[in-house]
Structure 1
Amino acid sequence: MHDNAPDDRFDLLVVGSANADLVIGVERRPAPGETVLGSDLAVHPGGKGANQSLAAARLGARTALLARVGDDDHGRLLLETQRAAGVDTDGVLVGGAPTGVALITVDPSGDNSIVVSPGANGRLTPEDVRVAAPLLAAARVISVQLEIPLDTVAETVRGRGPDTRLVLNPSPPAPLPDEVLAACDPLVVNEHEARYILGEDAGEGPHAWAPALLALGPRSVVITLGAAGALVADSRTGSLDHLVSPKVEALDTTGAGDAFTAALAWRLGRGDDLREAAAFAVRVGAAAVTARGAQESFPTLEEVDAL
């Protein structure tokens, strides 16, 4: 945070989902019609929104979460873990549906398959965003994903302050309105999401995707490439940078993209330029895959510096 900045603003407001992750380890994922045996069930706090807010808070960001959970054990687990990490949860609404749940299978290589039941996340409405106007106004950066209704994302875009930067990870991917695309600074996508958005116009590989994505309207684009790092494209400078990831032993990729996006959004809010912020985020993402789970794997600043 800059010394002359008012200290009553949040570095990052995450508007997004909060899920309970129900995780089972498997030797291999089942084929259609097949049953496989797995490990004991583990229940973890998750959801892309809650993951990002917790990841940013663990790095030291002043973070708030605007989300909806059910009035149930899963919802209480989510609120407790956010508060324990130092996230401001005044914007978390309770009730309207059961807490969202993600059913996750993880194989020995660390790859995962996920089925999401949105639950209360699907009841986070544009009206909820309008009521939270003071929270939006108090944020340097707002990060959104697509595990909440698209019209709620669009209302977040419309309701943000004039100097508030918007970071969007369109996951799970869906068609994006022009007003949402135009607000993205950056649009953060993995390879699957980039291909989805570009459709038949997707060229060969990330170096072709980045300018094609920029042509759709976002001010900047970041393509995450897993172990290969990230590609950063900025319409203001015309630059295209490939940032290499540190070599690490990957144990579990769950939540690594959320840790990356949270770190990127936080550093942008601190005043880093996009390339600096993405270079830091690549290191955070790499640190996150070296431990199991989503939120449990998110590193502190000290752990990132040690990488």
Structure 2
Amino acid sequence: MVVCWFVGLTTLDVVHRASARPGPDEKVTAVRQDVAAGGPAANAAVTAAALEAHAVLVSALGAGPVAQAARADLDEREVQVHDVAGPDEEFPLAVSAVLVDDATGQRSVVSPDAALVAVRAPRPDAIAGLPRPDVVLLDGHHPEIARAVLAHVAELRPRPLVVLDGGRWRPVFAELLPAADVAALSAAFTVPAELVPGATDAAHGALLLGAGSVVVTHGAAPVEWARPRRADDGAVEVGERGTVPVPEVDVQDTLGAGDAFHGALAVALARGEALPDACATAVRVASTRVRKVGPRSWLAHLPELTEPHGGAARPGPEPARDEG
């Protein structure tokens, strides 16, 4: 069984599904309510566990009823949680208010994410005691945790693959992108122009900052992937690139679709799939997610997706990276 670490944010998502969005000073009645652990790292970990990987979530939950509710959901999904905050520490775990449009499946989210408190770095000995990862995914939240995990990963031989979940730009990404074997970006991701003068798009900007390869999702449009090429003058350009089609499906719920993609991508890479095939696997998983209503009901439809895409393991993304 492959081992994947998911490093970053955990929230508690309170999800209401309604036929209309409320206006100012207006209340609408929900047709469905769900409560589940959320956050990019946590949702990706849940997906990985459903795909029969050993999913380790390195995050901050702490004590209190909000954390207990999130932890109970993660335990039920067989995610191993390494809580940097500690189970007895009072910690303001974020609560995300989510509204899903019953007609379109599109979601709106209000959340403090990780902005309420700064999280300390985990102890090196505590990280070292976790199962050795094949792939480590970072979501950019809780930077001190990400830095500590990267320091640990850099000492491992062979070095695990590092995947970066880039939903939207955060300053810490300037540090994390050079360590990323795969930067998985949303269409909304942008690299500040002053950091990458001459970048043609976000994928090129991420490659200029040192990412080993880039994946860009575009919702229902094809997923792009790209690898760098070094020009004769030493400049980094976009080299080999391609697209992976996204099937047309009846969209019921888009909440966590990107997180499902990232969790599946991490598992596929850990199993040795080449980057285009890993993207295809992740597309299949994310497409399953959006067809089902609710944050967890879709997981029951994943057993047929637990085998590597195409049947046989393939080499991982190129170029290989060694921090030595």
Q: With the length of structure 2 as denominator, give the TM-score of the two structures.
A: 0.79
- Residue 192 (structure 1) aligned to one of 188, 202, 208: 188
In structure 2, the partner of 1:6 is none
Distance 1:120 1:211 in 2: 29
Structure 1 stretch displaced more, 220-229 or 87-96: 87-96
- Give the CA deviation at 1:64: 1.1
Residues 268, 179 of structure 1: alpha-carbon distance in 2 compared, 3 angstrom cutoff: same
In structure 2, the partner of 1:215 is 208
- Conservation of the 8 A alpha-carbon contact between 2:7 and 2:145: no
- Give the CA deviation at 1:75: 1.9
In structure 2, the partner of 1:101 is 95
- Residue 37 (structure 1) aligned to one of 28, 52, 66: 28
Distance 1:119 1:211 in 2: 28
Q: Which amino acid aligns with 1:21?
A: D
Aligned residues: 289
Structure 1 stretch displaced more, 290-299 or 101-110: 290-299
Distance 1:234 1:190 in 2: 17
Alignment of 1:129-148 (within 5 A): 130-135=124-129, 138-146=132-140, 148=141
Distance 1:121 1:76 in 2: 18
Distance 1:249 1:82 in 2: 28
Residues 151, 303 of structure 1: alpha-carbon distance in 2 compared, 3 angstrom cutoff: closer
- Give the CA deviation at 1:249: 0.6
- Conservation of the 8 A alpha-carbon contact between 1:11 and 1:63: yes
Instruction: Give the match's secondary structure for 2:191.
Output: helix
In structure 2, the partner of 1:168 is 164
Q: Which amino acid aligns with 1:167?
A: V
Distance 1:118 1:208 in 2: 27
In structure 2, the partner of 1:116 is 111
- Give the CA deviation at 1:250: 0.6
Root-mean-square deviation over aligned CA pairs: 2.9
Distance 2:116 2:127 in 1: 19
Instruction: Give the match's secondary structure for 2:58.
Output: strand
Distance 2:212 2:254 in 1: 28
Distance 2:131 2:305 in 1: 32
Q: For structure 2, list consecutive stretches of 5 or more residues without a partner in the other structure.
A: 230-237, 308-324
Distance 2:213 2:8 in 1: 21
- Conservation of the 8 A alpha-carbon contact between 1:167 and 1:265: yes
Alignment of 1:1-307 (within 5 A): 11-30=3-22, 33-39=24-30, 41-91=33-83, 93-94=86-87, 95-107=89-101, 108-118=103-113, 122-126=117-121, 128=122, 130-135=124-129, 138-146=132-140, 148-160=141-153, 161-162=156-157, 163-193=159-189, 196-198=190-192, 208-235=201-228, 238-298=239-299, 299-302=301-304
- Give the CA deviation at 1:153: 2.0
Q: Identity of paired residues, percent?
A: 27
Distance 2:225 2:284 in 1: 15
Q: Which amino acid aligns with 2:302?
A: T
- Conservation of the 8 A alpha-carbon contact between 1:142 and 1:167: yes
Residues 248, 144 of structure 1: alpha-carbon distance in 2 compared, 3 angstrom cutoff: same
1:129-169 deviation per Cα after TM superposition (whole angstroms, max 9, x unaligned): 534331567111111113x3223323322221351111111
Q: For structure 1, list consecutive stretches of 5 or more residues without a partner in the other structure.
A: 2-9
- Conservation of the 8 A alpha-carbon contact between 1:68 and 1:121: no
Distance 2:42 2:218 in 1: 23
Residues 80, 53 of structure 1: alpha-carbon distance in 2 compared, 3 angstrom cutoff: same
- Give the CA deviation at 1:81: 2.4
Q: Which amino acid aligns with 1:153?
A: A
Q: Which amino acid aligns with 1:88?
A: Q
- Give the CA deviation at 1:212: 3.4
Residues 172, 293 of structure 1: alpha-carbon distance in 2 compared, 3 angstrom cutoff: farther
Instruction: Give the match's secondary structure for 2:162.
Output: strand
- Give the CA deviation at 1:197: 2.2
Larger radius of gyration: 2
Distance 2:251 2:94 in 1: 27
Distance 2:45 2:177 in 1: 22
